[in-house]
Amino acid sequence: MKDVTMTVNGKTVKKPVKGNTLMTEFLRETLRLTGTHVGCDTSQCGACVIHVNGEAVKACTMFAMEAEGAEVTTIEAMANADGSLNTIQQAFQDHHGLQCGFCTPGMVMSAAALLKDNPKPTEAEVRDYLEGNICRCTGYHNIVKAIMAASGQDVSRIAAE
């Protein structure tokens, strides 16, 4: 066991970890931040997307030790300071971009990364960006619509599929 120190959601944490501890396990089991979901453990589903130093990362592909000194943001930190939903989360609610909710944390984290890099993505760009996230409930249409709405675009022209 070796200590790892990082800033998670604005708070510095220092915890002992085994060298093979995945970031998903560290967040969920050690820090009890269970919003980061574990869907596949093979980097296929995107349910575990977090931000590390401002970049979207699938937490199941990263060892906790690799985050030494890093700034880590999880879904728990995405709400507004007063606890209300942020723009992306509200858009997911308003446009029915979730059903069972299992993929939602990863989708929201991916959407935030996309909108940071591309503030006004096209529908095709959103769909392309979400290629690494799997949703088995919604068929993606309302997720795409929610992300475009969060970017401030008029989504009334997007017809249901």
Contact 35, 45 (CB under 8 A): no
Task: Give the full edge-to-edge strand order of the sheet including 71-73.
Answer: 11-17, 2-8, 71-73, 49-52, 55-58
* 55: CB partners within 8 A, 6+ apart: 113
The secondary structure of 38-97 as a DSSP string is -S-SSSSS-TTEEEETTEEEEGGGSBGGGGTT-EEE-GGG-S-TTS---HHHHHHHHTT-
pTM over 0.85: yes
Residue 12 φ/ψ, nearest 5 degrees? -75, 130
Within 10 Å of residue 105's Cβ, how many Cβ atoms? 24
Per-residue pLDDT of the chain (161 residues; tens, 9 = 90+): 999 999 999 999 999 999 999 999 999 999 999 999 998 878 889 999 999 999 999 999 999 999 999 999 999 999 999 999 999 999 999 999 988 889 999 999 999 999 999 999 999 999 999 999 999 887 788 999 999 999 999 998 876 65
